[in-house]
């Protein structure tokens, strides 16, 4: 029992109608401990204080559950997951999810492997790859109900990195800040080329903070043409 930590997280998640169990609370505390331990020798996050980790990493990640029914989602892929955000907190709350974590930096994958084994999370795989390369592999292409991504690239580039992984009828959901309107407008063409259709934009705040979060919810309507994503680096250097 870590009273301050537990009370803060419980209070935030109750705003999302989530009643967190003792087992889940101890997983989140262990996550917080590992994140700060590893961050002392490896750059994982600039957010390290206990309250900030709860608000800006854990509650922010789980905020998505207010806008999409995660009980109805089976498979999730997180592109550019870094230290596991946003999908590992989602997995702790929704343990049925089959999760694939992708990052191009191997040291982050080493952290994630330790985290997953320490938290005893099942059905989670980690992949050290750039999204551009992995999306060409039929084991991963158009296989997922949901692709999530936070703080990786602008929405046009990110759509090229993420939409190829989503099955038709599935969703790509991007976590953006409060000033995303221009970016969303500019991404329309790319989303269309890649087989997506903008469905909803949800603007909200992290519970008990004034930090804004915008979810851009994009449906997968048609298959992504085989030529996308283009070669490594091109989606960011030269957005569609
Ligand atoms: N999503 C995490 C979060 O919100 O805390 C990490 C964000 S961090 C700013 C961006 C991460 O994306 C880094 O870990 C980086 O290695 C990864 N990344 C950037 N481009 C990528 C690509 N093309 N394919 C896979 N990972 C990528």
10-residue mean pLDDT series, the chain (240 residues): 93 96 98 96 94 98 97 98 98 98 97 98 98 98 98 96 98 94 94 97 96 97 98 96
Query: Which of helix, strand or coil describes residue 47?
Result: coil
Q: How far apart are CA 74 and CA 80, in angstroms?
A: 20
**pLDDT on residue 24:** 98
Q: Which two tokens stand for residue 180?
A: 């995303």
Q: What are the chain's domains?
A: 71-237 (3.40.50.150)
Decide if 88 contacts 42 (C-beta within 8 A).
no
| Alpha carbon of 4 to ligand 1 centroid (Å) | 30
| Alpha carbon of 210 to ligand 1 centroid (Å) | 25
Closest approach atom of ligand 1 to CA 235: 23
**pLDDT on residue 172:** 98
Q: How far apart are CA 12 and CA 146, in angstroms?
A: 24
Whether the pTM exceeds 0.85: the reply is: yes
Determine the residue of 104, 140, 174 to mutate for testing ligand 1's pocket, defined as the one with the most ligand atoms within 8 A of the Cβ atom: 104
Q: Is 150 in the pocket of ligand 1 (CB under 6 A)?
A: yes
């Amino acid at each position: 029992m870590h009273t301050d930590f537990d009370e803060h997280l419980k209070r935030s998640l109750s705003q999302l109608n989530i009643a967190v169990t003792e087992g889940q609370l101890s997983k989140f505390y262990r996550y917080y401990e590992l994140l700060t331990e590893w961050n002392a020798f490896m750059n994982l996050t600039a957010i390290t204080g206990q309250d900030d980790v709860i608000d800006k990493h854990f509650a922010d990640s789980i905020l998505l559950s207010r806008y999409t029914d995660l009980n109805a989602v089976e498979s999730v892929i997180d592109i550019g997951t870094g230290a596991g955000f946003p999908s590992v907190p989602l997995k702790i709350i929704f343990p049925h999810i089959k999760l694939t974590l992708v990052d191009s930096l191997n040291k982050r994958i080493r952290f994630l492997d330790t985290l997953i084994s320490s938290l005893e999370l099942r059905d989670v795989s980690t992949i050290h790859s750039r999204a551009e390369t992995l999306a060409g592999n039929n084991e991963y292409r158009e296989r997922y109900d949901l692709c999530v991504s936070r703080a990786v690239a602008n929405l046009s580039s990110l759509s090229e990195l993420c939409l190829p992984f989503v099955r038709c009828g599935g969703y790509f959901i991007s976590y953006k800040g409060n000033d995303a309107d221009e970016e969303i407008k500019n991404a329309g063409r790319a989303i269309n080329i890649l087989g997506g259709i903008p469905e909803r934009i949800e603007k909200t705040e992290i519970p008990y903070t004034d930090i804004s979060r915008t979810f851009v919810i994009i449906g997968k309507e048609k298959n992504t043409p085989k030529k996308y994503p283009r070669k490594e680096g091109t989606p960011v250097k030269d957005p569609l």
